[in-house]
Amino acid sequence: MRFLSRFPSLKQLAPVYSVIVIVVYGFSMIRFFWRVPSLANYSTIGQIGVVFSYMLTVNLIESLILISAPILLSLFLPSRCFFEQFVVKGVLLVSMGLGYAYYIAGHINTEEPFPYELFRLSPVVLAVILLLVFLLARIKFLKRFLEWLAEQLQVFLLLSIPLSLVAVVVVLLRNIF
């Protein structure tokens, strides 16, 4: 029972999840709307809507996978290490992890050799990220700022969650029928 008592509450999860939503959905939206003019040349509005639904469904799955990292750390580490400052440490973890993931994505180019070195360094980078999470969470100004920022970003959950659920229904209906 003590193990489950370290599972973060919805009040703790929402700010961290909102940071994930901003980054993941924001990146996808920029790329999607960049391609809308070319999609409009050979697709109908319905087809573009289906592509958008698939994108939102994938974003929902990605964001749920990403929120599992801070949850697992909260469950398996001693409560004073992660659970007591779940919002701050979770925001630091997911933002730095997503930053590194997008850094890698920016270096993957079809015209250049695959960046194997970035993947070989990943365990070292992840260890540095974990170390930074625990060190930066001690800075009071940064802690207050990250808590405030994550709280402000929760408003985007009001839009992203319902849209994602509708998109999942569209994708399911499209694949079932």
Q: Give the start-end residues of each E strand in 99-156.
A: none
Classify the phi-psi angles of 114: left when phi > 0, otherwise alpha if psi is within -120 to 50, otherwise beta: beta
Cβ count near 74 (within 10 Å): 22
Local confidence pLDDT in tens for the 177 residues of the chain: 466 777 888 999 999 999 999 999 999 999 999 999 998 899 999 999 999 999 999 999 999 999 999 999 988 888 788 888 899 999 999 999 999 988 888 888 777 788 788 888 889 999 999 999 989 888 999 999 999 999 999 999 999 999 999 999 999 999 998
| Domain span at 27 | 4-176
Number of domains in the chain: 1
